[in-house]
Amino acid sequence: MVFLFKILQKKYKNLIEVEFYELERFNSSSALLPKAHTYILWFNAIRKNSYKENKTPWEIIK
């Protein structure tokens, strides 16, 4: 179980780097925080998951 958690954690980190940090630019922490909050909401509710039949997390829990 710990091994699976580490794999998922690494995948999440890689996704954040590609989908968020490589696309966004920040001049300060006050510029980062609202964008990070929006990204987390999008990632956890709206983003489609190819490994889950292209369903969003919201669709999966319905």
Total domains in the chain come to 1
Q: CA–CA separation, 43 vs 15, rounded Å?
A: 10
pTM of the predicted model as reported, rounded to 2 decimal places: 0.68
For the chain, 62 residues long, give each residue's pLDDT as a single digit of tens: 788 788 878 888 888 888 888 888 889 999 999 999 999 999 889 999 888 899 998 898 88
pLDDT of residue 32: 92
Residue the block writes with tokens 């989908």:
19
Residue the block writes with tokens 């696309």:
23
Angle at 38 between CA 44 and CA 11, to 5 degrees: 45
